[in-house]
Amino acid sequence: MQVALLTILAIILSTNAQAQTRSLPDITIRTDQLRPSMVKLCSPPLLSRTLASWRPNLKAALLRIREGAYGVDRAFDITVVPKSECKSLAEHACFGKPDGTVFCNEAVLARVLYSAAALAGARVMGAMRRANAGTQSGNLWANELRATDSAEFGPMEAFGLIDAEEEDATLLGVRAPGELTKLQQRLRLLERAYGPRGREVGEIAMAGAGGVREIDTNPSVLKTLSRDEALVFDVMLHIYRAGVDQALAFVLGHELAHAHGGCAAKAKALAPVENRVRQFIELQLEERLFCPNPPSPSEINADRCGLVALRAMNDYWQRRERLTSIGWLIKPGFQDLGNRLAIDLLGIMIVGGLGDATQKYYLPDSRPGRIDYWPKLKENEGYLYSALRLLLATEVLHIQSHSAAEGVRACGTTAQRVMEGLLRATLGCKRELSLQETGSALEKMNLPLAPGAIGVFTGSRFDTRCYR
């Protein structure tokens, strides 16, 4: 009797779990039912000079997201408040509350913008270098996307350099004469890891970022440059904006869903992505692949809305690129560089926990591609595992990019982060599948991820390249 009762109870419980995952509720909502919302940029009392210079760019990015992903009728207001008003922000990049407020950490977002510009700079200069060297055949941008698989300059390096420069600005004047500055030390580490090119690419990236920062808020500067220079900076600017806008659209879209009390983003959810959400919820409810970690409906819906905002921003950038003055450069592969940048930025923001100011990002000091220090991964209760959240955002961009979808996946150090996240989700609990079986199951899921990355589980060669 007792056994039968337990069986019935188990069936009821599992039916509930199934019902919860099989049919996701509609996330669109009548716009007149949404709470009016306000994004409050929390400004620390002492923002370093380096980061403070990105303030106008941050405002510009938020305005583009408002226009591109929300439109006027569903918009939010933006205001700057002292950090003392943002107690609940704690260690997050942004944090949304059901009273209509979203708090965002101004310093954290400024670092993301600066890093995005440095990465855009490094990638465009890399493409130009190959074009000038005559080693270039076929599509310039598709080739650059392929080259980023083994690039000298990745997101970890970008964040490391930004940290170093920020510290220099803070410590300016208190350093002993003759001492190497932090920035110089980081550049030397790049040189040691990647050879002389590493340092050079680092310096080019920082210079490129300076140009992007200026042109982003004052496009008339382009007219003062030679035609070739203007073209190069225009391309950098496009990649930077597409990367930043899409990465922030997902993060902000999630928090705004909490604040609005519904999803105000103006695109439609993509059916394959919704299926993926369902699949991931199931993985977190059962004890098969991962440690069970039941997600909360409000966090799931906030993520779904973030994914819709991301899609809306992708549509916006696809429309914009058809209108741009640099038409001849806009070939398949160009926008994909912006998409890949967005994925890499989200890799840091979501999986790395960028909001925690005590976390530092270090450069590899040995062979390229090997990172010797990983920031602590954080998992929040009620959320999907951070690696799964990143894969969802990646899936949106992967599906939307038609030309070079092979490279619009989690690749390189971002793939490494995803695998570390997935591995951690299997530790410290009893599960049905062995690591090897988990790897096989993940392989069958056809995730938007470097195919060889699954090797972490299966014991085959671990490879984070997306192009083979």
Which residues are near Zn ion by CB under 5 A? 299, 302
Residue 152 or 299 with smaller CB distance to Zn ion: 299
Residue 193 or 257 with smaller CB distance to Zn ion: 257
- Tally helices (H) and strands (E) across the chain: 16, 4
CB of 32 to Zn ion, least distance (A): 24
CB of 248 to Zn ion, least distance (A): 15
Which tokens in the block code for residue 376?
């602590």
Residue 202 or 295 with smaller CB distance to Zn ion: 295
**How many residues make up the chain in this entry?**
468
Residue nearest to Zn ion (CB): 302
Residue 156 or 302 with smaller CB distance to Zn ion: 302
What is the rounded CA–CA span in Å between residue 249 and residue 253?
Answer: 5
Residue 66 or 258 with smaller CB distance to Zn ion: 258
CB of 96 to Zn ion, least distance (A): 6
What is the rounded CA–CA span in Å between residue 421 and residue 302?
Answer: 21
CB of 134 to Zn ion, least distance (A): 50
Max Cα separation, the chain?
A: 85
Distances (CA, A) of 375 to 52, 336, 362, 397: 25, 27, 9, 25
**Alpha helices, H only, 288-445:** 297-323, 334-346, 386-400, 412-424, 435-444
CB of 273 to Zn ion, least distance (A): 18
Sign of the CA dihedral running 352, 357, 359, 364? positive
What is the rounded CA–CA span in Å between residue 330 and residue 394?
Answer: 22
Residue 186 or 258 with smaller CB distance to Zn ion: 258
CB of 284 to Zn ion, least distance (A): 15
Q: Is 355 helix (H, G, I), strand (E, B) or coil?
A: coil
CB of 267 to Zn ion, least distance (A): 20
CB of 388 to Zn ion, least distance (A): 14
Residue 96 or 198 with smaller CB distance to Zn ion: 96
Q: In what order do the strands lie in the sheet with 76-82?
A: 76-82, 37-43, 101-105, 94-96
Residue 96 or 448 with smaller CB distance to Zn ion: 96
279: which residues sit within 8 A by CB, 6+ positions away?
445
Amino acid at 181: T
